[in-house]
Structure 1
Amino acid sequence: MIEEFTNPCRNLVKMGLIRKNTRKSSMRFFLVFFVILFGFYYGAYGKDSLDIEMKLKALNKPALKTIKSQDGDIIDCIDIYKQHAFDHPALKNHKIQMKPSMEFEAKTTTIQNNRFDEQITSQIWTKSGDCPDGTIPVRRVSREDIRRASSPSRFGRKPHRTYSFLDNALQHKGNFNITTENVKHPRPMFISEAVLIALGFNYLGAKSDINVWNPPRIEAKDYSTAQIWLLGGLSDTFESIEAGWAVNPSVFGDSRTRLFIYWTSDGYDQTGCFNLLCAGFVQTSTKFALGAAIDPVSRISQKQYYFTASIMLDVKTGNWWLTCANNVIGYWPGSLFSYLKHSATAVQWGGEVHSPNVRKKPHTTTSMGSGRRAADLWEKACYHTNIRIKDNSLFIKYPKYLSEYSDEEYCYSTNLHRETYMSEPHFYFGGPGQNSLCP
């Protein structure tokens, strides 16, 4: 680039328009001009571009194999020992654990399930190829993905929030049946939840079958999820690990339903992210790509699809293991956390809508779950079923104490429903967002 600025000077000398003895001063002029121009460009445009390039380099590791998915995603097969997780300072000397050191499903209690829904066993990208042993599939991030974020440093991150009931859970140090009053103050400005909550002091895991839908309306700057949360710590600096499905146009650039995870150790303030968009989660599976699209999805009054999501603590290592659709995906290392290193104090099942227009008029039109109200039940509303927790008894069992909560019951509702005394409870949740009752 410097050559481009100095060449005109040489040409002017050849043409006799600049004397040779002024050549050095002219070159100095052009160099000073270049420095000023570069400084102006960098100050106005270059920093964000440089930050984006650095972010892309950190996220998109060299691939041993690349797969072009039918839906347009690019999946890179990354060396498992060179994945982004190991860029985290706490994992500098981490030795990867290829499988849990204990059997999580050895002790379980079951309730009869009267439904015949089908579990999803693969993602769209697997129709175009697979990743070899010793690698993990990672969805490639594009410049456009990062440009949609408020800044490269906030790409794939949730805004800071609080969970006020966590302080109550710590004070009671045991099963605690919460009320609406101790959940709702204070609530986050941009998030609306419809959830089933279990509070305790020693949850070592949780699971459920999550009904998969593609919500009918998602505004461009919003996102909608169906998920499990395991929470610990204090209300404003809580720790969380999460898994489920999400539609998130601001991160992925479309309205497809995608498998996602999330974690934070400080209330979404400076730590954690969706999927593998920051260092932390250690993936071991070659079968599922976090952030990749799920297909098929459920449809109103038609066949219903789900996947089983399980998050369990390996008490020998302090690592939290994630299993989806009977595939072990990987783990959150215990070294990322303080409270969650030992147990969780709360579990949530349900959904979340993030939007600058929740609890406002006009309300966002972004829907949760299927877009139908919880009272519409099976084949119409989204659900969690086979809801289980694991505590110090080491049994995987239906929670003893449960409470339903919705931030905006006329926008997104809940319904813990059991058809008969012997049937498996279904927790239905969701709604249309803006409607006649939620203007």
Structure 2
Amino acid sequence: MAKLNIFRLLLILVLSYLSDRANGRVKFKGVNEKLKQLNKPAVKTIQSEDGDIIDCVDIYKQPAFDHPALKNHVIQMKPSFKLKEEKLGTKGLSSKLVVSQTWQKSGSCPDGTVPIRRIQRKDLLRAKSINRFGRKPREVVSKSNITDPKNGLYPSNNSTQVALPTIVNRSAANLVTLGYNYIGAKADINVWNPNVAAADEFTTAQIWLKAGPGDNFESLETGWTVNPHLYGDRRTRLFAYWTKDSYKSTGCFDLTCSGFVQTNPQVALGAPIEPVSSEFGQQYHVTLGIYMDPQTSNWWLKFGADVPIGYWPAGSLMFYLNHSSTLVEWGGQVYSTNVKKTPHTKTAMGSGQFASGLYGNACFIQNPNIVDFSMALKYPEWVGTWADDYYCYTAYNYQKGYGTLPVFYFGGPGQNPNCP
């Protein structure tokens, strides 16, 4: 009888193990530990009407300080620099600045705390692995390593054309400047809520500052995204991102890993922004910028009317970006395993309309400025457009008239009659 009971017990354990494997639970046996690591004790908790939970966390207990290189880091509470802005001829588009997030309707965080979107169990269970949670998928580079944009020039430096790699699992439509030492970039990014066709795909409108070799570059990024795999819905959300090794094993979105030091108690990374633009209706934009502090080498993220959110301590996190960026991009990106193939994904970029639709129809980026060591915001000396999946997403730097600055339009619907 004892042997029979032991056999039954073993059978139950085996069946339970197989059931767990079938449900993906074995892979996530460290979920509770990861949640405890990510979600720091809250001084105050805010339940947002959109379903998010915002924890107001002591500024000195935020996730940044879990990074080994930041154990003894002293917080820089505000930037030490002030930028000059060149006043160039421009005809501004009729667009309202977005400065609010949905959660702010339900409360505010006290001084001395920072608002952090709480990571829930269901968020982790969507990830392919706990270690990859909050990270962009690795870039898969085509063996041909050359993209042939149909809409114009290769990006170039001093009239020398530069071949950019073809990324198999991403499509981009960007405005590019490269070859100089940039210590900042800014833009007014038109806000939309494009369609994302599959739960494991995402779309962005953003700024990139990059440095380093093409197969192991460093990148600081910000903009808006629709990313159901990470956030669990299809809302348009403010995001920040960093990587030291071209998305291989470092960095993450927002505060889902250690690294970014937040100082602002009013803006939550990863939280929805509203309102969004409508076709031939009211247009909205979000103003975002990333700037290096010349005294500390920290890269500051600013939102709206020059409001600092926090910074990446480049001296601790980066190597190439500890000095400057050599490549700046503005525009959109779609991640899917079904780009550049048939059938193509239906995930949209920008407004979901092609760049040729212009104002009110296509997504735009206005005032794409850079900062060099003159510490002045200015339009880049040279820019080029880049679209590597041209029949699906396009890029167009449109100049309305002589003496005015161009406005960059980008986007598209993904799959369409010319992009089957």
Confirm or deny a common fold (TM above 0.5): yes
Q: Is the 8 A contact 2:183 2:372 kept in 1?
A: yes
What is the deviation of 1:125?
0.5
What is the deviation of 1:162?
7.5
Moved more, 216-225 or 340-349: 216-225
2:367 alignment partner in structure 1? 386
* Residue 165 of structure 2 is aligned to residue 193 of structure 1: no
Superposed CA deviations along residues 328-355 of structure 1, whole A, max 9, x for unmatched, are 1100111100000100010000000000
2:308 alignment partner in structure 1? 328
Please, which of 53, 56, 71 is the counterpart of residue 74 of structure 1? 53
Q: Is the 8 A contact 2:191 2:286 kept in 1?
A: yes
What is the deviation of 1:143?
1.2
- Residue 77 to residue 34, structure 1, CA distance change in 2 (3 Å): farther
Q: State the secondary structure of the residue aligned to 1:65.
A: strand
What is the deviation of 1:365?
0.3
Please, which of 170, 182, 185 is the counterpart of residue 203 of structure 1? 182
1:4 alignment partner in structure 2? none
1:307 alignment partner in structure 2? 286
Please, which of 393, 412, 415 is the counterpart of residue 396 of structure 2? 415
* Residue 270 of structure 2 is aligned to residue 294 of structure 1: no
Q: Is the 8 A contact 1:162 1:267 kept in 2?
A: no
* Residue 98 of structure 2 is aligned to residue 120 of structure 1: yes
Residue 252 of structure 2 aligns with an amino acid whose one-letter code is C
2:149 alignment partner in structure 1? none
Name which one, 1 or 2, has greater alpha-carbon Rg. Answer: 1
Residue 157 of structure 1 aligns with an amino acid whose one-letter code is R
Q: State the secondary structure of the residue aligned to 1:182.
A: coil
* Residue 28 of structure 2 is aligned to residue 37 of structure 1: no
- Residue 425 to residue 341, structure 1, CA distance change in 2 (3 Å): same
* TM-score where L is the length of structure 2: 0.90
Distance of 2:35 and 2:320 partners within structure 1: 32
1:216 alignment partner in structure 2? 195
Q: Is the 8 A contact 2:260 2:310 kept in 1?
A: yes
Distance of 1:107 and 1:210 partners within structure 2: 18
Q: State the secondary structure of the residue aligned to 1:246.
A: strand
Q: Is the 8 A contact 2:28 2:129 kept in 1?
A: no
Distance of 2:160 and 2:282 partners within structure 1: 35
What is the deviation of 1:317?
0.7
- Residue 379 to residue 365, structure 1, CA distance change in 2 (3 Å): same
Please, which of 347, 353, 364 is the counterpart of residue 334 of structure 2? 353
Distance of 1:30 and 1:176 partners within structure 2: 77
Distance of 1:423 and 1:346 partners within structure 2: 24
Please, which of 61, 76, 87 is the counterpart of residue 97 of structure 1? 76
Q: Is the 8 A contact 2:370 2:380 kept in 1?
A: yes
- Residue 177 to residue 283, structure 1, CA distance change in 2 (3 Å): farther
What is the deviation of 1:368?
0.2
1:266 alignment partner in structure 2? 245
- Residue 300 to residue 77, structure 1, CA distance change in 2 (3 Å): same
Distance of 1:137 and 1:176 partners within structure 2: 44
Residue 122 of structure 1 aligns with an amino acid whose one-letter code is S
Residue 331 of structure 1 aligns with an amino acid whose one-letter code is Y
* Residue 343 of structure 2 is aligned to residue 362 of structure 1: yes
Aligned-residue CA RMSD (Å): 2.4
Residue 409 of structure 1 aligns with an amino acid whose one-letter code is Y
Q: Is the 8 A contact 1:162 1:236 kept in 2?
A: no
- Residue 46 to residue 385, structure 1, CA distance change in 2 (3 Å): closer
Please, which of 276, 280, 287 is the counterpart of residue 255 of structure 2? 276
Moved more, 53-62 or 254-263: 53-62
1:129 alignment partner in structure 2? 107
State the identity %: 50
Distance of 2:64 and 2:284 partners within structure 1: 31
- Residue 408 to residue 136, structure 1, CA distance change in 2 (3 Å): same
* TM-score where L is the length of structure 1: 0.86
Distance of 1:306 and 1:59 partners within structure 2: 31
Distance of 2:160 and 2:95 partners within structure 1: 32
Q: Is the 8 A contact 1:157 1:272 kept in 2?
A: yes
- Residue 234 to residue 32, structure 1, CA distance change in 2 (3 Å): farther
Residue 37 of structure 1 aligns with an amino acid whose one-letter code is L
What is the deviation of 1:33?
5.0
Distance of 1:275 and 1:35 partners within structure 2: 44
Q: State the secondary structure of the residue aligned to 1:76.
A: strand
What is the deviation of 1:176?
4.3
What is the deviation of 1:106?
2.9
Please, which of 412, 416, 420 is the counterpart of residue 435 of structure 1? 416
* Residue 406 of structure 2 is aligned to residue 425 of structure 1: yes
Q: State the secondary structure of the residue aligned to 2:30.
A: helix
Distance of 2:218 and 2:243 partners within structure 1: 5
Superposed CA deviations along residues 245-289 of structure 1, whole A, max 9, x for unmatched, are 000010111110000011000010000111111111111111111
Q: Is the 8 A contact 2:140 2:168 kept in 1?
A: no
What is the deviation of 1:65?
0.7
Q: Is the 8 A contact 2:196 2:202 kept in 1?
A: no
What is the deviation of 1:31?
12
Moved more, 245-254 or 41-50: 41-50
Residue 94 of structure 1 aligns with an amino acid whose one-letter code is H
Q: Is the 8 A contact 1:197 1:346 kept in 2?
A: yes
* Residue 41 of structure 2 is aligned to residue 62 of structure 1: yes
